[in-house]
Amino acid sequence: MIHQTGDSSQFNDYGGLIKIRAKLPDEQQCRYFVEKFITSSSIGSVFRDATVIVSRSGINTVSELMYFGKPAILIPLPHGQRNEQATNARFLQNIGLGIVIPQDALTPAIFLKSLEKIVESKNAYKAHAKEARQILHPRAAHEIIHVLSYVVNKKSSQKR
């Protein structure tokens, strides 16, 4: 298990979890990694190798989950400009690749039940993973650059 905590000094999640990890039996300590951050160069391999991902539901995370076809338990941030994380999480749930648990409803029992559901239904999630990848537009960045270049060139030619 890889547990990314962030670096908030307000809650000291990292320091607290390091202490909890130290109290685990050796065979569990060697399977539980606490990280403040996962680098952008490492996140792809972390997602690729994961069986299940538990996460917030920002659009980058949801897109990466779709790309890698990973089932997820999503706990949207309860606040935001337009409740976008809840919308993103529901989208992933609707395509069959996630389970949404609102933060205020999260309990150990609900979390464990959701995790068991994903593990027991791994074949269904694999099928939905293929569908999720088809929603993504693999050449989106290239096409955006093409459109922007067109607009810039058109504006340049109008100035002449």
**Per residue in 88-101, pLDDT tens?**
999 999 999 999 99
Burial class (CB in 10 A: 0-12, 13-18, 19+), 89: buried
What CA–CA distance (Å, rounded) separates 85 from 74?
9
pLDDT at 160: 65
pLDDT for the residue numbered 159: 72
Superfamily of structural domain 38-159: Glycogen Phosphorylase B; (3.40.50.2000)
Q: What confidence score (pLDDT) does residue 155 get? A: 74
Q: Residue 95's Cα: distance from chain center in Å?
A: 15
User: What is the structure's pLDDT at 1?
Assistant: 95
| pLDDT for 157 | 76
Domain ranges of the chain: 38-159
Which residue stretches of 24-82 are H helix?
26-29, 43-49, 59-68
Low-confidence ranges of the chain (pLDDT < 70): 160
Nearest C-alpha neighbor of 74 from the set 91, 144, 139, 19:
91
